[in-house]
Amino acid sequence: MEFRVLGAVEATADGAPVDLGSRKQRLVLAVLLLDAGRPVSRDRLVDLLWPADPPASARGTVQALVSRIRAVFRAAGGPELVTEGPGY
């Protein structure tokens, strides 16, 4: 799987484009890619997705977005996205 984060967040698998999902899902993926090899906390992702006033459901939404990214990776033969402590 190949990723592009300059400009639009995009991915390809075997040369074919991969649907990365919603804008928020692509933002989470971009942050994880830019910090590859270092854990990114759920709280940091919440702060980036909702800078002013996160909803009460924000942490659960982040977990759902990560779950969807994992499903995209599995379907496209992408990397494993691991949970590490309170982050990814």
pLDDT tens digits, one per residue of 6-53: 999 999 999 999 999 999 999 999 999 999 999 999 999 999 999 999
Q: Looking at domain 2-76, does it have CATH number 1.10.357.10? A: no
Q: What does the pLDDT read at residue 27?
A: 96
Domain map (residue ranges) of the chain = 2-76
Q: What is the pLDDT of residue 81?
A: 95
The candidate with the shortest Cα–Cα distance to 2, out of 28, 23, 20, is 20
Q: Are 29 and 69 in contact (CB under 8 A)?
A: yes
Q: In the prediction, which pLDDT does 8 show?
A: 94
Question: 67-79: per-residue pLDDT in tens?
Answer: 999 999 999 999 9
Contact 41, 52 (CB under 8 A): no
Taking the C-alpha atoms of residue 10 and residue 3, their distance in angstroms, rounded to an integer, is 6
pLDDT at 16: 96
CA 87 – CA 68 distance, rounded (Å): 16
